[in-house]
Amino acid sequence: MASIVHNFTNRGDAFLLYHAIVAVRNTMQSWAQKKGWLIPILLCLSLAANILGLILPFLELDKAFSDKIIYSLPHSVHLMWESKLYIISILILSFSIIFPFVKLFSLFAAWFLPWKSTTRATFLHWIELLGKWSYMDIFVVILLLALTNNQTMISSKIHSGVYFFIGAITLSMFVSQMVLGMARKIVVEEHGKQVYPPKKRWMLFDQLYLGWTVPLLVIVSAAALVESIHATFLQISQFFLVSRSYSIFDIIELLQTNKHWILLIVIVGTIIAIPLIRLAFLLVVWIIPMQVSTHIRARQILEGLSRWSMLDVFGIALFLIASEGKDLVNTKVQPGLYIVVIAIALSYILGFVAVALHKVMIKLATSQP
């Protein structure tokens, strides 16, 4: 590379210099070789499912004294805007319509175009962080199904567009995690693997005077998560509608009773199962001595689990329904909503503290002989 730069600089040909530098950058497609077409095929499947999720019927609402309306996802955004539900319409437009396509085309670009490996890995990391927020509209649908269940004056029904949309977002999240993992491998191959001392580090005590805070936060966060599942957060408060109170557990029972199996898997998996697995895994990592390289691999696993932990996404959907959904179903906030907020806050605090202490540990490990 140095000789290429020297020769082109002597000739003063900046254009050729740029193309020479780009030429030595490998695309992810060429790096993956024969297996390199699997990712584009999966991305195309996700793109097709996303398009079908937009054009097929999404949700049906039937209100007394009004015509039955079958919504597609873009149609629902338009009607919400006309109903002055501005925040809901903007967020759904941003994360459920625009961002999924931005993400897919970004993954295509990262796969086929030559990038600087570190820039590509950083870019994919941020794209991956935002991916789960596309599930917000799914949680809005789940909440609307719950609030309109067994009511005489209003009812709702989901259509095939919901399932295509879930499939598209889920597949794109899996693919982006795969691509991010490959991008990180390319960085290691190009820059060399960081060598750490073989000594095992015990995150609980080893030179980390605040190490005990993480297990404590794990226990408190787990307790708050379990409590948030049973805490009643909304109550229907509207004339002519049956007044019911709802918790996450009540919604799970409702989905099971009505045999909405895919929605049931989404809410149980992303709000209960994966968050609890994340907490358990973090506790194990913190109390068992491991080599630094093992800690780094464990942190990457925890990052992946965090991206599938969606109590925060559910919380935003819940806030939107409680604050702006009164034109559909008038609800009253219950004390359990604050427990959900506390569980979300503890999850973020735990993540921040764990990442900060982990960085301190790596810094100490690399500075010691």
Q: Where are the alpha helices (DSSP H) in 131-198?
A: 136-147, 160-191
* Alpha carbons 152 and 242: distance in angstroms, whole number: 8
pLDDT surpasses 90 at 266: yes
Position with higher pLDDT, 238 vs 212: 212
Q: What is the pLDDT of residue 8?
A: 45
* Alpha carbons 29 and 108: distance in angstroms, whole number: 10
* Alpha carbons 46 and 43: distance in angstroms, whole number: 5
Q: What is the pLDDT of residue 20?
A: 41
pLDDT surpasses 60 at 22: no
As its CATH architecture, domain 196-369 has Up-down Bundle (1.20)
Decide whether 23-193 matches 196-369 in CATH topology.
yes
Question: What tokens were used for 365?
Answer: 């490990």
> Would you kindly state where each structural domain of the chain is located, as residue ranges?
23-193, 196-369
- Sheet of 234-236, strand order: 245-246, 234-236, 331-333
**Residue-wise pLDDT tens digits, 285-298:** 999 998 888 888 89
Position with higher pLDDT, 116 vs 241: 116
> 317 to each of 105, 199, 311, 326, how far by Cα in Å?
26, 46, 10, 14
Tell me if 69 sits within 8 A of 57, measured CB to CB: no
User: Which range has the top average pLDDT, 89-98, 277-286, 331-340?
Assistant: 277-286
As its CATH architecture, domain 23-193 has Up-down Bundle (1.20)
Query: Confidence band (pLDDT; 50, 70, 90) for 157?
Result: confident
Q: What is the pLDDT of residue 7?
A: 47
Look up residue 46 and give its amino acid.
Answer: S
Q: What is the pLDDT of residue 148?
A: 81
Q: What is the pLDDT of residue 151?
A: 73
**Residue-wise pLDDT tens digits, 177-207:** 999 999 998 988 887 777 777 888 888 877 5
pLDDT surpasses 60 at 113: yes
Round to the nearest angstrom and report the end-to-end CA distance of the chain: 32
Tell me if 110 sits within 8 A of 179, measured CB to CB: yes
Tell me if 225 sits within 8 A of 276, measured CB to CB: yes
Tell me if 46 sits within 8 A of 108, measured CB to CB: no
Helix H or strand E segment including 223: helix 213-230
- CA atoms within 13 A of residue 281's CA, in its CB half-sphere: 18
pLDDT surpasses 80 at 367: no
Q: What is the pLDDT of residue 45?
A: 96
* Alpha carbons 337 and 286: distance in angstroms, whole number: 30
Q: What is the pLDDT of residue 342?
A: 95
pLDDT surpasses 60 at 75: yes
* Alpha carbons 305 and 277: distance in angstroms, whole number: 8
**Residue-wise pLDDT tens digits, 310-329:** 999 999 888 888 877 666 67
Tell me if 110 sits within 8 A of 27, measured CB to CB: no
Residue closest to 175 by CA, chosen among 272, 37, 296, 274: 37
pLDDT surpasses 50 at 330: yes
Tell me if 186 sits within 8 A of 31, measured CB to CB: yes
Predicted TM-score (pTM) of the model is 0.86
Query: Confidence band (pLDDT; 50, 70, 90) for 218?
Result: very high
pLDDT surpasses 60 at 366: yes
Mean pLDDT of 247-258: 93
Write the CB contacts of 254 (distance below 8 Å, at least 6 apart in sequence). Answer: 145, 146, 149
Average pLDDT of the chain?
84
Write the CB contacts of 74 (distance below 8 Å, at least 6 apart in sequence). Answer: 54, 97
Helix H or strand E segment including 158: strand 154-158
